[in-house]
Amino acid sequence: MEQKSSFVMVFGSSPVVKVIDFFLEHREFDYSLTEIARNADIGWSTLHQFWKDLVALNIVMSTRRIGRAEMYKLNTDNLIVKKLIEVDFEVSKKLIAQEVKVSLIA
């Protein structure tokens, strides 16, 4: 069974959350839409339902083309993305602190 990230544990496993979580965990690289759908564990058609919104909000940005595939990366210069990174860090920190507290009691 795959372990959920702290971001997914708190915000749910909707397709948008799964894609954002994937990018938060792998923000240093760029990916094709096929790779994004596969790695976020969502369907190709599901990704296309909201992908244009992520691009329009400048949460993700096109980086280059490889053959016919457009590559995308998390736009870490975007204020929304900066806040998402902060939230992800704080959620992780809080959940780790809770785990440590529980393990010390046990």
pLDDT tens digits, 40-75 = 999 999 999 999 999 999 999 999 999 999 999 999
Task: Write the CA distances from 47 to 20, 33, 80, 88, 101, integer angstroms.
Answer: 11, 8, 20, 22, 38
Mean pLDDT value of segment 28-47: 97
Contact predicate 50/15, CB 8 Å: yes
Q: What percent of the chain has pLDDT over 70?
A: 92
